[in-house]
């Protein structure tokens, strides 16, 4: 802990800021020259996906063992692992590995058939993803690996959990004995100390051992993330993406289930931990003037970012959304939210602004289709009227949670980005962004800079705090047949985690296909004024599919008609996928489930609100209604294969 405090203190020192800024300026100049000289041009498009989850208890905690020695061991394990509960078997159904079809086709979105399990080429990642394995037969747990997109590129606050800025040592020593909690579950006479109905689905902390498999660490102790290795954007690449999402999410869940946790595909947790949401998100201590949030990963970068944001905010950070108004002594309330983030690597550097500006215009329509976080944890609402809340709440509270948690400096860091005029603007914008928690490479490395990523280490670190809802990632490891380590990627950041793997692959295909299709067809959508695109985005966060959206049609006409907008959204997504040689059958498979939700006028957020209303109509109070809805959501996600089956 002292090492973390020392690193954070060094990070926030004035002399570090000066040296860091000088290096970023120098590295940015080199990057601009490299982009202008064509060094960032590549052969083909490639894609990848990041997915965030959160953990809940999977079965009631057992009582304390009678044996004094066992009791002491359990207490010590609870302290070291930071657990609050225990688990059952992994989720089934939608995460089963695809079986090989008779016709030898590719990977399938269906859980029990339709395609072969494809492993990504070892040389394919945009950035190292470590020793991840999709081999379902061996079942070997991968070594804790690098995030597929490198330092500072994950959801939330974007730290690679295994980057040099994360803890060097695991929080739970490798030679520590297994917690006595799990073994005691087997005792037939054990009874939960809490009523199972009150206990079921509560947020819980993940033990470090869960991250020895496919899951990576994230901001909160309850958070986990899985990432696909990026692949070429074509039929084979998308089939590998499909298999990777299914397999890696399944394996992460299985690993969690061994330790009495269940990983949930959802955009915001609503059943609070046992101590309560406010207490969980606020718990912290001070060490030599450094704030250490109890339930935040004690990675130096997280802690430094927390203290930087708090300093700008005067020591506490306000969070105000319909039904809740309060403040927190740490940024940890950002960990309420979980998201998915498609990546699209663009091979033609000169054309990058065209893709980026078109993507800005898609933010509103795509967010409106995917909204999934209309409620905060149930105990954060006090005596709020339930009917009023259902009518008033935002359909995507993640947007407010992320923006309000870190937008404490003079220039908001989380927002819709402005249009790009020139490709090199992607470098200049990072340089000009407010400086948060700088680190110098020698704080963490004592070797020479020998690789491309080493040469731009400080720039990449600052880019990791450039939290726009759409941003450019400069650089990456080679993707076979697509790119070198010098590449430019769009990171599409506002989409919430969905109930099933099939839904997430569908949104990935819709996003990358639409951006590609709009540009290849020379669609005039970029003529929509930027202010209108921004307004559409925040309207979508507030109102979901009922949002007032703006669009420019293929004929160059402004429209707010939803049918006209979504007819083109799906048409040009299909065009973009076809342009990348993806078959019509596969396109139908990817996009069909998302089209169904539009036709039905029902998003996951709509489903949640309707469910809460049903419980309110039955006489439940708001807290009970929200928690009952959440248990229904978890049950439905276990029982079905895609959200369209819920409708």
Measure the CA–CA gap between 247 and 400, rounded to whole angstroms.
32
The model's pLDDT over 225-238, given as tens digits with 9 standing for 90+, comes to 999 999 999 999 99
Give the residue-averaged pLDDT of 556-577. Answer: 98
Q: What is the pLDDT of residue 478?
A: 86
| Residue 236: burial class (beta carbons within 10 Å; 0-12, 13-18, 19+) | middle
The model's pLDDT over 397-413, given as tens digits with 9 standing for 90+, comes to 999 999 999 999 999 99
Query: Domain 1-57+195-645 class?
Result: alpha beta
Measure the CA–CA gap between 211 and 228, rounded to whole angstroms.
16
Contact 218, 51 (CB under 8 A): no
Percent of the chain with pLDDT over 90: 76
Q: Higher confidence at residue 184 or residue 353?
A: 353
Give the residue-averaged pLDDT of 256-266. Answer: 94
**φ, ψ (nearest 5 deg) of residue 317:** -120, 125
The model's pLDDT over 166-205, given as tens digits with 9 standing for 90+, comes to 444 444 444 443 333 333 333 334 344 455 566 689 999 9
Measure the CA–CA gap between 76 and 641, rounded to whole angstroms.
40
pLDDT exceeds 70 at position 139: no
Q: Identify the H or E element spanning 389.
A: helix 386-392
> Out of 87-91, 102-106, 588-592, which region has the weakest mean confidence (pLDDT)?
87-91
Measure the CA–CA gap between 393 and 324, rounded to whole angstroms.
10
pLDDT exceeds 60 at position 501: yes
- The model's confidence at residue 476, banded by pLDDT at 50, 70 and 90, is confident
- The model's confidence at residue 279, banded by pLDDT at 50, 70 and 90, is very high
Number of H helices, E strands in the chain: 20, 14
Nearest to 406 by CA among 291, 269, 310: 310
> Out of 84-88, 145-149, 318-322, 394-398, which region has the weakest mean confidence (pLDDT)?
84-88
Measure the CA–CA gap between 289 and 312, rounded to whole angstroms.
15
Q: How far is CA 472 from CA 153, 326, 339, 346, 539, in A?
A: 10, 33, 18, 10, 24
Measure the CA–CA gap between 622 and 394, rounded to whole angstroms.
16
DSSP assignment string, 314-343: TS-EEEEETTEEEEESSGGGGGGB-BEEEE
């Amino acid at each position: 802990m002292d090492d973390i405090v020392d690193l954070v203190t060094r990070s926030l020192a004035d002399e570090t800021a000066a040296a860091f800024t000088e290096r970023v300026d120098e590295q940015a100049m080199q990057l601009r020259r490299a982009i202008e000289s064509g060094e960032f041009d590549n052969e083909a498009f490639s894609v990848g996906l990041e997915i965030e989850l959160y953990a809940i208890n999977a079965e009631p905690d057992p009582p304390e063992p009678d044996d004094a020695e066992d009791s002491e061991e359990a207490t010590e394990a609870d302290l070291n692992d930071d657990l609050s509960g225990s688990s059952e078997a992994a989720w089934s159904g939608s995460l089963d590995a695809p079986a090989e079809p008779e016709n030898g086709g590719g990977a399938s979105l269906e859980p029990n058939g339709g395609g072969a399990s494809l492993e990504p080429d070892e040389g394919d990642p945009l950035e190292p993803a470590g020793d991840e394995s999709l081999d379902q037969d061996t079942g070997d747990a991968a070594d804790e690996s690098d995030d597929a997109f490198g330092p500072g590129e994950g959801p939330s606050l974007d730290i690679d959990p295994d980057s040099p800025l994360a803890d060097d040592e695991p929080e739970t020593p490798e030679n520590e004995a297994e917690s006595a909690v799990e073994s005691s579950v087997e005792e037939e006479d054990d009874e939960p100390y809490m009523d199972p109905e009150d206990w079921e689905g509560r947020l819980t902390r993940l033990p470090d051992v869960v991250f020895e498999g496919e899951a990576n660490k994230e901001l909160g102790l309850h958070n986990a993330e899985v990432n696909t290795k990026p692949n070429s954007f074509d039929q084979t690449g998308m089939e590998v993406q499909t298999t990777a999402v299914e397999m890696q999410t399944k394996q992460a869940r299985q690993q969690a289930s061994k330790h009495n946790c269940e990983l949930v595909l959802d955009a915001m947790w609503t059943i609070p931990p046992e101590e309560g949401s406010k207490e969980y998100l606020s718990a912290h201590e001070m060490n030599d003037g450094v704030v250490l949030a109890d339930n935040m990963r004690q990675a130096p970068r997280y802690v430094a970012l927390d203290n930087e944001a708090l300093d700008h905010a005067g020591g506490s950070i306000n969070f105000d959304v319909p039904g809740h108004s309060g403040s927190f002594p740490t940024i940890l309330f950002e960990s309420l939210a979980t998201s998915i983030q498609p990546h699209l690597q663009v091979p033609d550097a000169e054309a990058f602004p065209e893709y980026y500006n078109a993507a800005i215009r898609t933010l509103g329509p795509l967010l409106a289709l995917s909204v999934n976080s209309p409620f905060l944890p149930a105990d954060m609402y006090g005596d709020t009227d339930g009917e009023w809340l259902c009518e008033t709440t935002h359909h995507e509270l993640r947007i407010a949670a992320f923006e309000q948690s870190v937008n404490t400096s003079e220039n908001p860091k989380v927002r819709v980005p402005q249009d790009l005029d020139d490709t090199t603007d992607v470098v200049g914008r990072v340089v000009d962004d407010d400086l948060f928690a700088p680190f110098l490479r020698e704080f963490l490395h004592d070797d020479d800079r020998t690789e491309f990523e080493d040469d731009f280490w400080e720039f990449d670190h600052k880019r990791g705090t450039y939290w726009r809802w759409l941003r450019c990632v400069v650089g990456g490891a080679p993707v076979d047949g697509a790119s070198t380590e010098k590449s430019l990627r769009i990171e599409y950041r506002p989409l919430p985690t969905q109930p099933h793997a099939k839904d997430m692959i569908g949104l990935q295909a819709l996003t990358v296909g639409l951006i590609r299709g709009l540009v290849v067809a020379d669609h005039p959508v970029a003529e929509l004024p930027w202010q209108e695109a921004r307004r559409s985005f925040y309207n979508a966060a507030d109102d979901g599919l009922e949002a007032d959206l703006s669009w420019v049609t293929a004929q160059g006409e402004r429209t707010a008609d939803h049918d006209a907008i979504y007819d083109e959204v799906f048409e040009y997504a299909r065009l973009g996928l076809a342009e990348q040689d993806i078959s019509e059958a596969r396109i139908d498979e990817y996009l069909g489930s998302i089209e169904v939700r539009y036709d039905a006028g029902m998003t996951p957020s709509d489903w949640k609100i309707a469910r809460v209303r049903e419980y309110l109509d039955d006489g439940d109070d708001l807290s009970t209604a929200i928690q009952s809805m959440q248990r229904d959501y978890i049950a439905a996600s276990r029982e079905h294969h895609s959200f369209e089956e819920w409708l």
